[in-house]
Amino acid sequence: MAAEHAAAYGLWFEVVARLVRLVEAAGALIIFVGAVWAFARFLAAGVRDRGGLEHGFNRIRLSLGRFLTLGLEFQLAGDVLRTAIAPSFTEIGQLAAIAAIRTVLNYFLGREIASERAELERERRRQERKGQDPRSAAGLA
């Protein structure tokens, strides 16, 4: 009976360990794709809009932040899975510290994304007002 229990635990350990690697690889891939996408967009914006790069830069940062946030969520999911097979309190403590760091990073990335989104919305409103001012002055609005 003990041998069967040990074999079942070994199988469970192996399955969860593979799932952890799969989920963490997905998170790393998401972050990598986001970085490549943002770099390509940055280069394209630099070539296309030499004078107005700042506006495009904010949009690129916002999109990259979304990729980073999603990738970190996958990394955190891997940490949560890993706690299912962590055999010691030391390993659980290390995983908790890693999860806490990733959670804090994710929180601040979320705040940065919200700030960038608000800035883009303010810029859009300013542009709309600039476009409406000449019409108002001419009595068309």
Each residue's pLDDT tens digit, 37-80: 999 998 888 777 765 566 678 788 888 988 998 998 898 888 88
Higher-confidence position of 104 and 49: 104
Higher-confidence position of 133 and 75: 75
The predicted structure's pLDDT at residue 39? 94
User: Could you give the CA distance from residue 102 to residue 28 in angstroms, rounded to a whole number?
Assistant: 13
Specify the residue for token string 């990598």. Answer: 32
The predicted structure's pLDDT at residue 54? 64
Q: How confident is the model at residue 85 (pLDDT cuts 50, 70, 90)?
A: confident
Q: DSSP secondary-structure letter at 46?
A: H
User: Could you give the CA distance from residue 69 to residue 61 in angstroms, rounded to a whole number?
Assistant: 12
Q: How confident is the model at residue 90 (pLDDT cuts 50, 70, 90)?
A: confident
The predicted structure's pLDDT at residue 59? 82
User: Could you give the CA distance from residue 44 to residue 47 in angstroms, rounded to a whole number?
Assistant: 5
User: Could you give the CA distance from residue 60 to residue 15 in angstroms, rounded to a whole number?
Assistant: 38
What type of residue is 134?
A: P
